[in-house]
Amino acid sequence: MDRVENAASLGDDLLSLQELAGRNARTPDELAAILQHIYWTVYDVDLNRYDAAETAKAAPYLMQTIFGLRMTLRNRIMDWASRGLLTLPAESALRDVFRIARYGSDMLGELAIGFDRFGRTGKGRRVFTGTDHNTLVNPAYYAGSDLPYRSGDVLLMRGSAYNSAAIARIGDVDTQFSHVGMIHVDSDGHHSVVEALIEDGAVITPLEHALDCGIGRAVLYRCRDEELARRAADLIFEHVKKSNGPLSRRIVYDFSMELPGYKKLYCSKLVRQAFDMASNGEVMVPAFTTRLHMNNRDFFDRIGVTAEQTFAPGDIDLDPRFDLVAEWQDYRLTSTLRLQDMLMTKLLEWMERRGFVFEEDIVIRLVALLGKGASLLSEDAKTMVASVVPKVPRNMSRRTIATIAMLHRTGEELLGPLDALEQNTIRNTGRPLHPRDIFEHLERVREISGGRIGYLVEPRAEAA
């Protein structure tokens, strides 16, 4: 039987990574190797090695240790970039480290609250609230009291829908975020979020409403140039306000995810436009873009993505011109988000490596036709029928509506058994599933699927 270690040894293991994070790399390859070593060290942590009760008690300290590791790495990005060390392999490795570190912290948070689940506790918490160590604050900004929002702050978020998981995973390197918006504070102190939504296009949302939408994780970023950020928020606020006027045409959502042009906007491109306008084209966000290089373009074609390089929401995580001020997560929901993430990673992997494509049936065709028909209604009428037919923008194609429906139903079919497996693991061991266990389960599902998983079909299997 394996020896069970105490939580202090896990803390020692994590602290040892701080030394590695502070090590001076001389070449891009050396930096990539250091970051990859950190990633695999965190990935290979097996909570079964540690006493569950002690780990739960030590979780707040361990979470702060992991957060401190990420802050150390993030604070070095500007230096690495100036020295030409952040080549693509190092950049990708850094994204991997941030992702796995967040998962590790989430699992500790879940352990600390006894794996209480969002579904059993009702309404979600407002972002940046909660008493379960939900908010982690950058020490440079910690003042022992609530931090005021500043006009021009950027809010990075993750919702719980399957299309949110897809947005977070479609790049060459996976992320954990699906949406970003810009905070605006007017002269009377009214707080808003200027954002581009799939269903509504570019809109202005009261901040308190945006923070109350069942979000699973959120990060507040602050541009180091306060005046530039304030000007960016003012300009984009007025631009979007004007577009929503009675004599104007609202800016619709840009499904292409292309960077050039601002006639249509997706969430990240709205933030890009804000800083572009405020700087007269001198400050272009982000510093590091996301690449979209799937050979099997069927999914991208279906949802309307034509870009091969884009500004994905999670790219702000690597931009050294922005400070990470505070990070929040609802530990009652993070388990579901993690399962969705892993599930989506596998779906996209099967599309790319095994040729899986979505195949519609008569039910999906009907759903898509109803959705497309509803998109032609007035905004008031759309709101009235939203409980029956989801709110769909006019510029969303029938094929895209069908794909989102198939994605949701396929995800639900896989998530139920996966969630049951995790709950069984928690009951038996007191610990959540490790990502490798999730991937192994999904591969077993594929192996016995006969080439059909939900609405995904492997053409080679059909030909056989």
In the three-class reduction of DSSP (H, G, I as helix; E, B as strand; rest coil), residue 455 is classed as coil
* Token pair belonging to 167: 């947005």
- d(C-alpha 100, C-alpha 39), whole Å: 7
Burial of 84 (0-12, 13-18, 19+ CB in 10 A): exposed
- Spatial distance between the Cα atoms of 91 and 28, rounded to a whole number of angstroms: 10
DSSP 94: H
CB 235 within 8 A of CB 262: no
331/300 Cα distance (integer angstroms): 31
Which residues partner with 453 through β-bridges?
Answer: 456
Indicate the length of the chain as a whole number.
464
Which phi and psi angles does 272 have, rounded to 5°? -60, -45
Tens of pLDDT, residue by residue, the chain (464 residues): 345 667 668 888 888 899 999 999 999 999 999 999 999 999 998 888 888 889 999 999 999 999 999 999 999 999 999 999 999 999 999 999 999 999 999 999 999 999 987 654 456 789 999 999 999 999 999 887 788 999 999 999 998 777 788 888 888 888 999 999 999 999 999 999 999 998 889 999 999 999 988 799 999 999 999 999 999 999 999 999 999 998 889 999 999 999 999 999 999 999 999 999 999 999 999 999 999 988 888 999 999 999 999 999 999 999 999 999 999 999 999 999 999 999 999 999 999 999 999 999 998 898 888 877 766 545 554 443 344 345 677 888 889 889 988 998 999 999 999 999 999 999 998 999 999 999 999 999 999 999 999 999 998 654 44
The answer to whether the beta carbons of residues 32 and 87 sit under 8 Å apart is yes
- For helices 435-447 and 398-429, the axis angle rounded to 10 degrees is 120
Question: What gap in Å lies between CA 235 and CA 451, rounded to an integer?
Answer: 51
CA nearest neighbour of 157 among 103, 216, 199: 216
Give the strands of the sheet with 191-197, arranged side by side: 135-137, 322-329, 217-223, 154-158, 179-185, 191-197, 201-206
Token pair recorded at residue 239: 């631009």
Q: What is the pTM of this model?
A: 0.92
**CA-closest candidate to residue 456, choices 413, 418, 426:** 413
Q: Which amino acid is at 254?
A: D
Token pair, residue 314, equals 């999670």
Which superfamily does 119-331 belong to?
endopeptidase domain like (from Nostoc punctiforme) (3.90.1720.10)
- Determine the distance from the C-alpha atom of residue 248 to the mean position of all C-alpha atoms in its chain, rounded to a whole number: 32
For 322-383, strand residue ranges (E) read: 322-329, 357-358
Supply 18's token pair: 């701080």
- Residue 372 in tokens: 């497309």
Domain boundaries, the chain: 7-112, 119-331, 335-463
What are the φ/ψ torsions at residue 323 (nearest 5 degrees)?
A: -90, 140
What phi and psi, each to the nearest 5 degrees, are found at residue 457? -130, 135
Interstrand relation of 217-223 and 201-206 (parallel, antiparallel or unpaired): unpaired
Coil/strand/helix, residue 7: helix
Decide if 395 contacts 414 (C-beta within 8 A).
Answer: no
